[in-house]
Chains A and B, each alone.
Chain A
């Protein structure tokens, strides 16, 4: 697989043009455009929720288990809370903020899913580049450890990590990092093994460049495209996993509403109020499908570009 980075502009112009160059490829693909629209919808809602939600997401202000009305567009849940407000607020922990442990209630920007993926991309890239470029014992040892990690069914690994470390945003980030890193590492390794056969790597070696320079300045920039697309897919997986953990009751802790947990709570009242289950379920699906479509379309377009 030739790894040409498509994120490079045709000529060497301003940053603005550069960015347009790299984004315009999205609109070449209908799949990617649809995916991006779905993702953007949620991102915009998330930002909106920072300033405004229809009601207080945690206040039981209304009648319980009501269907949609002018007052509550999506209805209310079993405690009489506004579902729309809860859905909007729920995007924040996934996409926009990570709550640090302690009583201060301090948050850092970047959601749990985002940090988790950044973690697995960094860890995976470092391991994969070392395994792929150095080969030999490095490769054997790193791959053996990764194999052991991959052998864990992901949910089991999450359960184990949470059983050991308890609940919390940072624990979920750690769990996503650990479960995601082996996959990223395998990808990075195969890319590195491909790229290291290129002559420009030989050229760097004959210049006596250091191993780290070659890995991070010669190989990594050319592996960037596939790794970023993979990262995008992984944000989807991470949201998927956060939802699942929430559903199992071991996900992100309160007070922020958690989509998975919303599904879990609502399903106990499934006979009386089906919509309360459907809304958060739809939210998770659309966001994950959107990310998948986006990444898929982008990847397809990139390989077409290479041909």
Chain B
């Protein structure tokens, strides 16, 4: 059993790495120029190139993969020469990067060719000083300086050669002088909980994602709690009545529900409950990310849609497994031993019959997530699925990657749990 668990865990870790690499390269290498989307189709090639450098996209794909996964502050630290730390900005509530220069949190700024040092105070404000003697000389004889700028990048300025860069502001693109030659957009990396900045909204992905994951977990959790007991019950009921009318009814109904796409089911439910019966709001408006906690009625239709689609699948699996078990030699033994039917079903059959569906159900969780995407889109539900959808449409790869990794992690972890549950249910594995 130990062997089995160790293998599962190792395999899970390997899988996650494979997935992350596949995801990263498919999206970042496969997709076109993201700056077109951000800056608009009327931006000039020069503007795009400048913006790409600011996003760190001019680095090699491998470099960016490592940065994305493990962060790049440790790489930038070697250039800057000071430990790099984050401090929460009281105005935005988000973390800013600072260099820790002998206990003082420091950033730099190049103003009219003059290097300024910004020292952070306890309250988050900063004062600006003239920085002297900071320039270093490289082999070619030009003077340069590595520091942290005010936009959370580690940057390299070259003295007297302030580059012209295009900065994206609320008012649009603005040409600035005194720009750095090189950017490293600082991030802690996915493994340390920082998937980067959303290209669509400009805010850290992690901040938005957490609220979305929470909402989705509520939706999926409620749906799961309804689906599982119901589906197992219905499936077992159909399985022990194989071939009888009850079984036929259950089988055909569940097939019908399974084979109907979520968006069709969802729309029918809206039609029935929202438009014809008028018992539930046909169009749910989620005013804020917390709306579901204020008005739980908003959950009803999304949960119902998920239930309709998933119930059928799980019920069918359970039925098939139950039929197989009821047909087995040891059930025959139990009947020939004169055990009452109830005892045959509950003591002998159910445990064995649940083994197969449990792994399949757990494998099926990523199907459920797929369903979630559609359901969230139909109902405008502010969850993870809707977030992935919006980000994918925009091409916001930081957001897509992070959200996709979350879904993959959920899928893999549930599968691992399914394997473990199977191990616990099956003494043949447990004692070997």
0/1 interface trace, chain B 258-288, chain A, CB 8 Å (1 if under): 1111111001101100010000001000000
Nearest chain B residue, comparing its CB with the CB of A289: B259
B364-395 with Cβ < 8 A to chain A: 366-367, 369-371, 373-374, 377, 385, 388-389, 392-393, 395
Contact, CB under 8 Å: B260 / A153: no
A155-170 with Cβ < 8 A to chain B: 155-156, 159-166
Residue B407 interfacial (CB < 8 Å): yes
A250-298 with Cβ < 8 A to chain B: 250, 260, 263-264, 267, 270-271, 274, 277-278, 281, 284-285, 288-289, 291-293, 296
Query: A244 and B407 in contact (CB under 8 A), knowing A160-B23, A292-B258?
Result: no
0/1 interface trace, chain B 20-42, chain A, CB 8 Å (1 if under): 00110011001110000000000
Contact, CB under 8 Å: A247 / B263: yes
Contact, CB under 8 Å: B259 / A292: yes
Contact, CB under 8 Å: A144 / B18: yes
Contact, CB under 8 Å: B392 / A151: no
Smallest Cβ distance from B321 to chain A, in angstroms?
14
Contact, CB under 8 Å: A148 / B370: no
Nearest chain A residue, comparing its CB with the CB of B365: A153
How many A residues touch the partner, as a band?
A: 35 or more
CA distance A248 to B373 in the complex (A): 10
Contact, CB under 8 Å: A147 / B11: yes
Contact, CB under 8 Å: A164 / B27: yes
Contact, CB under 8 Å: B400 / A163: yes
Smallest Cβ distance from A124 to chain B, in angstroms?
16
Nearest chain B residue, comparing its CB with the CB of A267: B267
Residue B80 interfacial (CB < 8 Å): no
Residue A212 interfacial (CB < 8 Å): no
Which residues of chain A come closer than 8 Å to B14, judged between CB atoms? 144
0/1 interface trace, chain A 180-222, chain B, CB 8 Å (1 if under): 0000000000000000000000000000000000000000000
- Of the candidates B14, B260, B261, B282, the one having the most CB atoms from chain A within 10 angstroms of its own CB is B261
CA distance A263 to B282 in the complex (A): 16
Contact, CB under 8 Å: A163 / B395: yes
Query: A289 and B392 in contact (CB under 8 A), knowing A145-B18, A151-B366, A284-B261?
Result: no
Residue A152 interfacial (CB < 8 Å): yes
Residue B256 interfacial (CB < 8 Å): yes
Contact, CB under 8 Å: A160 / B374: no
Which residues of chain A come closer than 8 Å to B374, judged between CB atoms? 155, 244, 247-248
Which residues of chain A come closer than 8 Å to B407, judged between CB atoms? 152-153, 156
The residue from A152, A240, A271, A296 contacting B261, defined by CB atoms under 8 A apart: A240
Residue A57 interfacial (CB < 8 Å): no
Contact, CB under 8 Å: A153 / B369: yes
Contact, CB under 8 Å: A270 / B282: yes
CA distance A264 to B256 in the complex (A): 21
Which residues of chain B come closer than 8 Å to A284, judged between CB atoms? 260-261, 264
Contact, CB under 8 Å: A160 / B400: yes
The residue from A250, A270, A288 contacting B275, defined by CB atoms under 8 A apart: A270
CA distance A27 to B377 in the complex (A): 41
Smallest Cβ distance from B400 to chain A, in angstroms?
6
Contact, CB under 8 Å: B392 / A160: yes
CA distance A274 to B282 in the complex (A): 13
CA distance A277 to B266 in the complex (A): 11
Nearest chain B residue, comparing its CB with the CB of A148: B18
Residue B110 interfacial (CB < 8 Å): no
A72-121 with Cβ < 8 A to chain B: none
Residue A236 interfacial (CB < 8 Å): yes
Residue A150 interfacial (CB < 8 Å): yes
Residue A231 interfacial (CB < 8 Å): no
Contact, CB under 8 Å: B271 / A270: yes
Which residues of chain B come closer than 8 Å to A152, judged between CB atoms? 19, 366, 404, 407-408, 411
Q: Which 4 A-B pairs have the closest CB atoms?
A: A164-B30, A155-B370, A148-B18, A153-B369
> Can you list 11 pairs linking A and B with CB atoms under 8 Å apart?
A150-B363, A152-B408, A155-B369, A243-B263, A263-B263, A267-B267, A274-B275, A281-B267, A289-B260, A292-B258, A296-B255
Beyond A161-B26, A247-B263, A281-B267, list 18 extra A-B contacts (CB 8 Å).
A152-B408, A154-B366, A155-B370, A159-B392, A159-B400, A160-B392, A166-B32, A236-B259, A243-B261, A243-B264, A248-B374, A250-B392, A263-B264, A263-B267, A267-B267, A284-B261, A289-B260, A292-B258
Binding site for A on B (CB under 8 A): 11, 14-16, 18-19, 22-23, 26-27, 30-32, 255-256, 258-264, 267-268, 270-271, 275, 282, 363, 366-367, 369-371, 373-374, 377, 385, 388-389, 392-393, 395, 397, 400, 404, 407-408, 411-412, 415
